[in-house]
């Protein structure tokens, strides 16, 4: 699977929206983990970034501890700023969880359709639970945002 196809998948859409909504402080706004910029969770500016990039390891692509909210600038144009993201994730999840990610990075995994189906079900369930509590900020927009 190519990264382009991964980021267009329904599984990634639910996963990234779950991460943004989970870390939002009021269900509408989220803070970039690397620069601190405040963004609306449903804006094109708000991204879900990877500490360990999918081009380095598919095995950590959907791991929650590997994901954090980022602004478009930091995620796309500054390469993810992994050093700052790692500090932020260590504060949220602890050093042991982050070290486990770096170990898991070496597990061979080829992303297949059944992986996407599994993660789609997993994150769709989590996302729908959060939506019941906070509401769905994406409902107000027409169409579904692609990354």
Domain ranges of the chain: 3-132
Q: What's the whole-model pTM score? A: 0.90
- Report how far residue 20's alpha carbon sits from residue 71's, in angstroms, rounded to the nearest whole number: 11
Contact 40, 72 (CB under 8 A): no
Cα 144 to Cα 18, 37, 47, 74: the distances in Å are 14, 23, 14, 23
User: What is the tens place of the pLDDT at every residue in 50-88?
Assistant: 999 998 889 999 999 999 999 999 999 999 999 999 999
């Amino acid at each position: 699977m190519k990264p382009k196809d991964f980021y267009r998948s329904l599984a990634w859409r639910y996963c990234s929206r779950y991460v943004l909504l989970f870390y939002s402080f009021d269900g509408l706004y989220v803070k970039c983990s690397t620069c601190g910029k405040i963004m609306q969770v449903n804006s094109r500016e708000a991204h879900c970034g990877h500490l360990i990039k999918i081009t380095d390891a598919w095995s950590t692509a959907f791991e929650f501890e590997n994901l954090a909210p980022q602004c478009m600038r930091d995620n796309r144009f500054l390469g993810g700023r992994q050093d700052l993201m790692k500090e932020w994730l260590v504060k949220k999840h602890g050093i042991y969880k982050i070290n486990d990610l770096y170990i898991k990075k070496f597990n061979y995994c080829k992303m297949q359709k059944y992986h996407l189906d599994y993660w789609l079900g997993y994150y769709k369930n989590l996302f729908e639970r959060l939506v019941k509590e906070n509401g769905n900020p994406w409902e107000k927009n027409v169409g579904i945002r692609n990354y």
